[in-house]
Amino acid sequence: MPEKGVEPDVITYNALTNGLCNEGKIKDAVELFNLMVRRGYEPDVISYTTLINGLCKTGNTSMAVHVFKKMEQHGCKPNVVTYSTIIDNLCKHRLVNDAMEFLSEMLD
């Protein structure tokens, strides 16, 4: 795209990340997310939530929680969809105490 005078933006990266996650290509989705950051784009709540959802769908609970924490560290505020995604996934993996911690954090 750059050779045509068009640059991808966060929305473009989010769409591609979502597509990769839907195809189960989570490693590629993580690489694309990291490429977006290296190219100077600031991930938004949709960027993070999309990646977290993809990680959850592929059973990468600990990595999803890690990305959630990074999201907060980088000043991106999680929304109800982000919290719901994490909480639902933790409950599915019988990590109810962890899910309750996220619920408590969400309500604070």
- The superfamily CATH assigns to domain 2-107 is Tetratricopeptide repeat domain (1.25.40.10)
- pLDDT (tens digit per residue) in 52-70: 999 999 999 999 999 999 9
Residue 2 is classified by DSSP as G
pTM: 0.91
Residue pLDDT, tens place only, 82-91: 999 999 999 9
pLDDT digits (tens, 9 = 90+) for 11-47: 999 999 999 999 999 999 999 999 999 999 999 999 9
> Would the pLDDT of 2 be above 80?
no
**Cα–Cα distance between 35 and 39 in angstroms, integer?**
6
Average pLDDT over residues 74-96: 95
Burial class (CB in 10 A: 0-12, 13-18, 19+), 71: buried
Domain segments of the chain as ranges: 2-107
Give the number of other CB atoms < 10 A from CB of residue 14.
Answer: 22
